[in-house]
Structure 1
Amino acid sequence: MRSNQAYPGENKWIGWLYLLPGLLIYLGFTFYPILETVRTSFYEWNGFSAQRDWIGLRNYQALFSDTQFTSAFLHNLVFILFYCILPVFIGLLLASVLSRKALPGMTLFRTVLFLPQVISMVVVGVIWRWIFNPQFGPLNVLLNALGLSGLTRAWLGDFALALPAVGSIGTWVQYGFCMILFLAGMQHISEEYYEASSLDGANAFQQFVHITIPGLRAEIGVALVTTIIAALRVFDLVYVTTRGGPGNATLVVGFLIYRSAFQQNRIGYASAIATVLMLIILVISLLIRRFQTGNEEKSA
């Protein structure tokens, strides 16, 4: 068997040569655009002219005094409820039920629940825009058929309901991912824990709290990071369903970046928003990871 140690005179850089193509692609298509975005945020530029005017931190000063950015970021925080908290909770419940009950057709049921995750967000937005249509959408048609016409609304056109309506679409998309992630994690939890707890008189809820959730600590951390990032960077769903409206009721940071860059030609300002959003996502991800690592060390 070949040892992992290099023989005398053997080229130790051969492994790096194999990694070089992928590294160059990463640097060219990911790292360089990030650096260019940060650099552009210090300039005033319309995206067309060859001249860029250096303005230092002025874009960031304008950003933190912009009420639209504050409103958009608050909407993103609301989306964390719909994109993260609710999907994680629903995913945990579904995974717990599906992993404990061997029912016929379970594979098909899992596939159907996961299906929203693999559909393009543009297609998802078009489907739900049709469902929420106030005239012929299935939701209002169903309410009318049930004699609940008083509950019919212009779901995406109501200032109070548009944001939770769009957020509910995010819940529908994300819970399948959480469910599959938790189902995979439950395969590593020994059945002996559940059998022993049953002998000690633990009910299903106690098993869920004291065995299932601690056993899924790593998967829950991944789900939190992934869904929070999805909530903070949401754009396509808002663009297809409401375009940030009515008014600015569903304006999010991603759509504000688009509006600033491509409708107002404020590329430098849009780059500043993107840079701040990137830093916020990075900080939140690191905090969740640190909290998760701390809990693992305590339980070790």
Structure 2
Amino acid sequence: MLYPLVRAGQFSLFDWPGFGPSTFVGFGNYIDLLSDDRFLASISHALILILFYSILPLVIGLVLAAVLRRGSVRGLGFFRVMIFMPQVIALVVVAVAWRQIYSPNGTLNDLLGAIGLGGLARGWLGDPILALPAVGVIGFWLETGLVMLLLLAGMGRISNQLFEAARLDGAGPVREFFAITLPSVRGEITTALVLTIIAALKTFDLVYLTTSGGPGTSTTVPSYEVYNRAFNLKEVGSASAVAIVLTIMVFLINIAVSRIGEERRTPR
């Protein structure tokens, strides 16, 4: 399991086009990344995608899961299957479908025109300002169902006696949520954050199939930079350095999230 990571670390110490002779540069590839505007932009884009892949799905998922937990919803099993459906659809299919939705003659612009907002229509994935949020919305659509199901599973284990006691004490829905529901699903919240943050940081398929990092560098992300440098620019050493940095980022962020989650669950 560790062999590919070790080899990537080895490659990152060389200036190598992927074939033929290589030149040892030590940490030169890593030092170059510190002043590489394209790489630094890809890091900032990945952090922005965490908002769409992780934070927003967690907020919306918490609210919807709490409503479903409290209310009586017919066909809840079918509803759970439907909201989880994006997780089982191949990302290639997802990317192609959303690319069509965002195209200048696509569904989104047709819908805006139908409701009298045709002036807002544009090529969403071709707009340097809106392209990254547009990709983020796809990630939000993908991850919300997963987060909601994790939270529903956690809420399903909460004893009804706790809610009954809270209602006898005069607690309303909001107080129930913050006093009982939220503390009881901290483990599921931590799991959801870990999974969605990993998905945000290592996203490649959606970017490659929808924007290819463009327009310009407005949607490039670290995973795409690894591919672009290794296979398009023939800079395998630099690509390996990006891969190692990305691995360290994923590891450190998720260790921090897990540690915070464990501390909050530990009674004082």
TM-score (norm 1): 0.87
What is the CA distance between 1:160 and its match in structure 2? 1.1
Alpha-carbon distance in structure 2 between the residues aligned to 1:158 and 1:53: 40
What is the CA distance between 1:293 and its match in structure 2? 1.6
Q: Which residue of 1 aligns with 2:116?
A: 147
Q: 1:53 aligns with which of 23, 45, 51?
A: 23
Q: 1:210 aligns with which of 169, 179, 183?
A: 179
Q: Does 1:81 align with 2:47?
A: no
Alpha-carbon distance in structure 2 between the residues aligned to 1:242 and 1:251: 9
Q: Which residue of 2 aligns with 1:286?
A: 255
Instruction: Give me the CA root mean square deviation.
Output: 1.1
Q: Which residue of 2 aligns with 1:262?
A: 231
CA deviations 1:211-240 (Å, max 9, x no partner) are 111000111001111111111111110001
State the identity as a percent. Answer: 47
SS of equivalent residue, structure 2 residue 178: helix
What is the CA distance between 1:105 and its match in structure 2? 1.8
Which structure would you say has the larger Rg? 1
Q: Which amino acid aligns with 2:8?
A: T
What is the CA distance between 1:52 and its match in structure 2? 2.4
TM-score (norm 2): 0.97
What is the CA distance between 1:95 and its match in structure 2? 1.3
Alpha-carbon distance in structure 2 between the residues aligned to 1:62 and 1:228: 26
1:20-169 maps to which residues of 2 (within 5 A)? 30-49=1-20, 51-135=21-105, 137-169=106-138
Q: Which amino acid aligns with 2:82?
A: V
Alpha-carbon distance in structure 1 between the residues aligned to 2:66 and 2:89: 25
- Gapped regions of structure 2 (runs ≥ 5): none
SS of equivalent residue, structure 1 residue 140: helix
What is the CA distance between 1:275 and its match in structure 2? 0.3
Q: Which amino acid aligns with 2:237?
A: G
Give the length in aligned residue pairs.
268
What is the CA distance between 1:103 and its match in structure 2? 2.1
